[in-house]
Amino acid sequence: MVAKRIIPCLDVKDGSVVKGVNFAGLREVGDAVEMGAAYSADGADELVYLDISASREGRRTFVELVEKISRRIDIPFTVGGGIASLDDAARLLGAGADKVTLNSAAVADPALIGRIAARYGSQFVVCAIDAKQVDGVWRVMTHGGTRLTDRELYSWAREAAERGAGEILFTSMDHDGTKGGYPCAVYARLCDSLRIPVIASGGAGSVADIAEVLSAGKADAALAASIFHFGEIPIPELKRGLLARNINVRI
């Protein structure tokens, strides 16, 4: 049985890690490099760094930051934010990132997924999807959750997979930062409709929440921020709790 992954997410703005609720009310919580190194030492399986202001402000993810991270940690890490071309992806992968994640640019130019996958392989491409419910439909948002699109979650995820994405990272904007649990029925439906791994993001508040999304929600990995950033659930404690619930994780 493939082990489920635990992935701290570090939202980065101007080189610092920030966190908010429902993509708003951001506050600074620490240094991006130092926090990543601490999570690596603590037993995280992977890390995700998202430059959350890059797309909205028209900036590229800082290659220099990726180089610093790659020198400090020894676990895989994914970088996203402002990646709008094959050259952008090449610079980040060349700087030491193990994967890149595409969001706003992929919605605007879906063929970008295939171009990067054709060059580097699907395993290097994660399609991040931010979505929220609008009139009962899970609608895709872009540019840091500020722009509503006409895309629908399930159909866009299937298209992204068909175009070459190796993983889907779905964040529920309705649950992000609330610590009230993941929308597990949504994740289960999404996982059933895809043949690639799904990373669950948005709503982790307890060991039970993460256990539920990895079991009932069928997610391959759980991504969380607040509970790790503020020391509420240390990663070793989380993994022991998951093992006690018969969920296979690496210790």
Average of per-residue pLDDT across 47-75? 78
Asked if the structure places residue 251 within a domain, the reply is: no
CATH number for the domain that contains residue 181: 3.20.20.70
Average of per-residue pLDDT across 86-99? 94
Q: What is the mean pLDDT of the chain?
A: 91
Residue entry with tokens 């290659």 = 63
> What is the Cα–Cα distance from 104 to 110, expressed in whole angstroms?
10
**Whole-structure pTM value:** 0.91
Query: Is a pLDDT exceeding 60 seen at residue 45?
Result: yes
Q: How far is CA 219 from the centre of its chain?
A: 12
Give the pLDDT of residue 58.
47
Asked if the structure places residue 210 within a domain, the reply is: yes
How many structural domains does the chain have? 1
State residue 101 phi and psi, 5-degree precision. -115, 135
Give the pLDDT of residue 63.
83
For the annotated catalytic residues, the residue numbers are 11, 130
Give the pLDDT of residue 13.
81
Question: 25-49: buried (b, 16+ CB within 10 Å) or exposed (e) per residue?
Answer: ebeebeebbebbbbbbeebbbbbbb
In the chain, pLDDT over 90 holds for what percent of residues? 74
- How does pLDDT run across 102-118, given as a tens digit for each residue? 999 999 999 999 999 99
- Closest Cα to residue 157, out of 129, 118, 186, 116? 129
What is the residue range of 36's domain?
A: 5-244
